[in-house]
Amino acid sequence: MRRESLTLSLFALVALASPIAAQPTTPQPAGPAAGPPAKSLMPAPVPPPAAKVDAAFAKSGITDWTKPPAPTKEPVFKAPTVKRLKLKNGMALLVVANKALPIVSMTLVVPGAGSSGDPAGKGGLAAFTADLLDEGAGELSPIAIAQELDRLGASMSAGVDVDTAQVSLSTLTKTLEPSLELLAKVVTQPGFDAKEAERVKGDRVITLEQRRDRPREVAAVMLNAALYGLGSAYGHPGSGVREEFKNLGVADAKAFYTERWNPAGMTLVVAGDVEPAKLKAKLDAGLGAWKPTGAKRAPKIVTTPAKPGSRLLLVDRAAAAQSDVRIGLVGPARKDRRYFQFEVLRTVLGDGFTSRLTQRLREQLGITYNASAAMDWRRAPGPFVIASAIVTPETARGLSEIIKLVDDLATTDVPAEELEKAKQNMIRALPSHFDTNSSTVDAFVELVRHGLPDNWYTSYASSVRKVTAKDVKSVARTVAPSKRLVFAVVGDMTKVRADLDKLGLGEPALHDLYGMPLKRQ
C-alpha cells in the first residue's frame, strides 16, 4: 500500500507542476479578466530537408525506376588457384593461399560418412556420430574443448550431408598451430563418452519430436521417402526418425566411426593466410600421423527411384493458414553431362525473384510469399524439388499453376532475353562464392564431394554461355516432365482436400504429422 500511495502522490505532483495540466480544459469566456490567449506549447513545424539527388542517379539518365536498368558489362572473373598436396597417410590436402587477412578456414571432408551410410534401422547414426566428435576428445572434456577454442579465437563444427561428413575449423593465423592440434585430437581421438552421448541423444530426440511443428520439414520427409523409398540410403531422413533414434547408443557411434572414418579417403580443404608447404609439414605431425584402423573406403552409393506409387502425399494440419508444399522428382547425378542445361532450367523456373515461379505465384496471383526450384546435386541421382507455402484456399490452384509452368518449359523455347538473364545471373553470382575464406572452402568442398577436377570453376562461365533454348526445352522434356512429379502437401485437409482431388493426381497417400505413412506403402 505504501508503494501505491507514493506512486499516486508522485503522479499528483507531476500533474500540478505540469503547465499542460494547469491549462483549462474547457473554453473560457472572453473578457477583461480572461487575459491574453495562452501560447501554443507545440513547436513550430520543421520544414522537410531539400531533396538530394544522388550523383550516380543523376548521371544514369534513368527516369522510370519501375523498370530495371540494363545490365553492366560482364565482369572478368578468375577462379582462385588451388594447390593439391598429400599428407603422409594418404589424406588429400587442397590449399588456396590468401594473404589478405590473418585468418584461416578449413573443412575436412569424409566421404561415405554421410546420412546415406546409415545402417538399416539406424537412421540418424551418421549425424549422431558427428555430433559426438567435440563432446570430449583425448583428455579434454566438452567444456575444455570449448574453452580452448575461445582461447585460440577459433570455432569448430561437425555435421553431415547425404554423401559426406564434414568437420570445419576457422582460426587466426597466429593460433593456427594449436588449432590444428585441437582439430587432430577431436577427429582422431573422440571420447565417445556414454554420459555425453545420452545428453546429445536426448537433445536430438526432442528435436525429432518437434518435427511435427515444422511443416516444411515434414513435407520434405514425405517427398524423399516417396522418391527413393523410406528405408533407402537417400529416402530416410538424415536426422533420423523418433522410433529408430531412441534405440541408438554410444556403441553404435563408435562402430560407425571405426567403419567409415578413413583418413586415406579424406580431403582437407584450406583457404587463408598460409603457405602450402609449411602447412603440410604442420599437418603431417597431427592429422598426417593418423593411421587407418580398419576403416573401409566409402562404398558406392546405390540409389534407385522407388517404384511408382501415389503422386499425392497428404498431412492434415488443422487450421493451417497456408499449405507447405514440396513437389519433386528424381533428377540427374552431379556428373551428368546435362548439368549446366539443368541449372539454367532451374534458374529460369525458380531461382530468384524474377523466376517464373515467383512472378506467377507471388506477383501475379498473390498466393505465396516465395516459391523456388532447387536441385540437390549428389554423386548419385538427387532430388529436384519445387518448394512453396501457398495460402490455404488457393492450394490446389497453386499446384495447377506449377504444373503449367513445368509443362511450358518442356514445350516452348525460353525467350532469348529471359534465357540470357538466367545465364547472366549464374555467371555473375559465381565470384560471390569466393568472397571469404570460408566461402572459398565451401566452393572447393563441393568439388571434392562430387569428385570433380580442381580447376572446374575456370570453365564455368563458358559452359553456361553454351546452353541454348533448345537445350533447356530438351532437358525439361526428358529429365523433368510434369507427369513424373510427386506432390507433398501439409495443410488443412478440411479446406483443401476436395480441390486437390480434382487435379487428377490419383488416390492420395495419407501421412501423420511427422511425415510417416499412416499405412505403410
Of 7-21, 191-205, 394-408, 414-428, the range with the lowest mean pLDDT is: 7-21
- Strand ranges, E, within 68-122: 83-86, 92-97, 103-111
Split at pLDDT 50, 70, 90, the class of 17 is very low
Per-residue pLDDT tens digits for 434-469: 999 999 999 999 999 999 999 999 999 999 999 999
Averaged pLDDT, 158-180 = 98
For 190, 214, 499, the CA distances from 198, given in Å and listed in that order, are: 15, 24, 46
Closest CA to 482 of 341, 349, 353, 324: 349
Task: List Cβ neighbours of 267 (8 Å cut-off, separation of 6 or more).
Answer: 91, 92, 93, 94, 108, 109, 448
Query: 493-498 long-range CB contacts below 8 Å, 24 or more apart?
Result: 493/314, 493/316, 494/316, 494/318, 495/392, 495/393, 496/323, 496/392, 496/393, 496/395, 496/396, 497/314
The whole-angstrom separation of Cα 117 and Cα 241 is 15
Residue 56: pLDDT over 90 = no
CB atoms within 10 A of CB 84: 11
Residue 521: pLDDT over 70 = no
Averaged pLDDT score across all residues of the chain: 90
Residue 13: pLDDT over 70 = no
Per-residue pLDDT tens digits for 311-359: 999 999 999 999 999 999 999 999 999 999 999 999 999 999 999 999 9
Split at pLDDT 50, 70, 90, the class of 14 is very low
Residue 28: pLDDT over 60 = no
CB atoms within 10 A of CB 32: 5
Most confident of the ranges 34-43, 64-73, 403-412: 403-412
Per-residue pLDDT tens digits for 378-432: 999 999 999 999 999 999 999 999 999 999 999 999 999 999 999 999 999 999 9
Q: Where are the alpha helices (DSSP H) in 312-351?
A: 339-350
Split at pLDDT 50, 70, 90, the class of 372 is very high
Which triple of cell numbers denotes residue 291? Answer: 593411421
Residue 273: pLDDT over 70 = yes
Give residue limits of the domains in the chain: 83-289, 312-511
pLDDT of 299 reads 59
pLDDT of 332 reads 95
pLDDT of 409 reads 98
Q: Which residue has the higher pLDDT, 281 or 34?
A: 281
CATH architecture of 83-289: 2-Layer Sandwich (3.30)
Residues of the chain with pLDDT > 70, as a percent, come to 87
| Same CATH fold assignment for domains 83-289 and 312-511 | yes
Which triple of cell numbers denotes residue 241? Answer: 526418425
pLDDT of 61 reads 72
pLDDT of 40 reads 61
Burial status of residue 87 (CB atoms within 10 A of its CB: 0-12, 13-18, 19 or more): buried
CATH classification number, 312-511, choose in 3.30.830.10, 1.10.3720.10, 3.10.450.50, 2.40.10.10: 3.30.830.10
pLDDT of 9 reads 45
Per-residue pLDDT tens digits for 486-509: 999 999 999 999 999 999 999 999
Of 62-76, 371-385, 471-485, 489-503, the range with the lowest mean pLDDT is: 62-76
Residue 84: pLDDT over 80 = yes
Residue 479: pLDDT over 50 = yes
pTM for this entry? 0.85
